[in-house]
Amino acid sequence: MKAIAQTEFGDASVLSLQELPDPVVGPDQVLVAVKATSVNPVDFKIRLGYLQGALPHHFPLIQGWDAAGVVVQAGPAVDGYAPGDEVFGYLRKDHVQNGTYAELVAAPERGLAHKPAGITFEQAAALPLAGLTALQLLKKIGVGEDDTVLVHAAAGGVGHFAVQIARVLGAAKVIGTASERNHDFLRSLGAEPVTYGEGLEDRVAALLGGDGKVDAVVDLIGGDALRVSPKLVRDPARIGSIIDAGVREFGGQYVFVKPNSEQLAWLGERTASGEITVSIEKVFPLAEAADAQRLAEGGHVRGKIVITV
């Protein structure tokens, strides 16, 4: 099969299109012909070697944890999928090597869901990691009916899903931090935009009135945004971060996304119904995966970047 792989850590130039052996399919896995995958910040962190302390890495290393495609083979212990099924999934494994920037991927059944007919492979590929991250974080901090929620970095991959999912879960108001150029985008998703940076506490208070505080905070950026969050929320236990586990020091919640087929199916259904919109900034062919990562690494991406196979 053809795949984008690296044989050393480094900048995007270490990524190249290679011919590699087809994946081995385990008893509880399906072989998926990948139609599309997406770029997440974790991808370029892996490429640079930043996750070596968290997961074993093996070369040649194929990146990618998102995929949408068609099942071509099912392992003998697989119950819910058969050849020909259209699927999508969050396919993180216990080691980093056989990812989704490839024509084929061996996908653990636990990370898959059936792709609804109403969404494209590109939309489905953009949804798993970022959508699950947003959903699991919102559930961890108990977002529900009538809440006011602040989302830091609301225009990005996880952020634009968090805005929409919070509304689906019943939030009455969602405030999203973003640069000025993304304010209309956030309004289109149902959020009230504010500019991030110094003075955020005053800008949020001006939007809210009353005590000027929100019910829950979604931190997707860390740093100053996380440090100011306890001043913005009524209960620090309802601050959730995917960036900094130090959020627990003031009673907040830390989330590292986990595969969950039921939640993935829920996200797919809500996307097919139009309750969740998948924003895709740019689509690259597989051979240009290095350029896709360069764009992602530069920051300021609105929504997701997708790679077609």
Residue 261 in domain: no
| Structure confidence by residue, pLDDT tens digits, 227-262 | 999 999 999 999 999 999 999 999 999 999 999 999
Same structural domain, 212 and 148: yes
Q: What CATH number is associated with residue 180?
A: 3.40.50.720
Same structural domain, 94 and 42: yes
CA distance between the termini of the chain: 11
Q: What is the pTM of this model?
A: 0.98
Within a 13 Å sphere around the CA of 106, how many CA atoms are in the beta-carbon half? 13
User: Which residues does residue 107 pair with via DSSP β-bridges, in sequence order?
Assistant: 30
Grade residue 293 by pLDDT with cuts at 50, 70 and 90.
very high
| Percent of the chain whose predicted confidence (pLDDT) is above 90 | 97
Domains in the chain, number: 2
Yes or no: say if 270 and 293 are a contact pair by the CB < 8 Å rule: no
Query: Distance (Å, rounded) from C-alpha 283 to C-alpha 304?
Result: 9
The angle at the Cα of 192, spanning 188 to 196, to the nearest 5 degrees, equals: 115
Residue 29 in domain: yes
Same structural domain, 112 and 141: no
Q: Is 269 in a helix, a strand, or coil? A: helix
Residue 209, pLDDT score: 86
Sequence-distant (≥ 6) Cβ neighbours of residue 4 within 8 angstroms? 15, 16, 17, 18, 62, 63, 101, 102, 286, 287, 289, 290
Any idea which residue has 């699927």 for tokens?
A: 87
User: Which residues does residue 74 pair with via DSSP β-bridges, in sequence order?
Assistant: 30
Question: 200 is in which domain, residue-wise?
Answer: 131-254
Grade residue 203 by pLDDT with cuts at 50, 70 and 90.
very high
Report the 10 Å Cβ neighbour count for 16.
Answer: 14
Grade residue 150 by pLDDT with cuts at 50, 70 and 90.
very high
Yes or no: say if 69 and 101 are a contact pair by the CB < 8 Å rule: no
Same structural domain, 32 and 67: yes
Grade residue 80 by pLDDT with cuts at 50, 70 and 90.
very high
Cis amide bond preceding 108, omega within 30: no
- Most distant pair of Cα atoms in the chain: their distance: 62
Find the helix packing angle between 128-140 and 261-273, rounded to 10°. Answer: 110
Same structural domain, 122 and 162: no
| Structure confidence by residue, pLDDT tens digits, 257-276 | 999 999 999 999 999 999 99
Q: What average pLDDT does this structure show over 156-174?
A: 98
Same structural domain, 32 and 107: yes
Residue 292 in domain: yes
Same structural domain, 147 and 180: yes
Q: What CATH number is associated with residue 27?
A: 3.90.180.10
Residue 6 in domain: yes
Same structural domain, 82 and 197: no
Report the 10 Å Cβ neighbour count for 185.
Answer: 19
Residue 170 in domain: yes
Dihedral of the CA atoms 101, 104, 109, 111 (nearest 10)?
Answer: 10
Do strands 86-90 and 112-114 pair parallel, antiparallel, or not at all (unpaired)?
Answer: antiparallel
Nearest to 85 by CA among 65, 71, 103: 71
Query: Distance (Å, rounded) from C-alpha 170 to C-alpha 167?
Result: 5
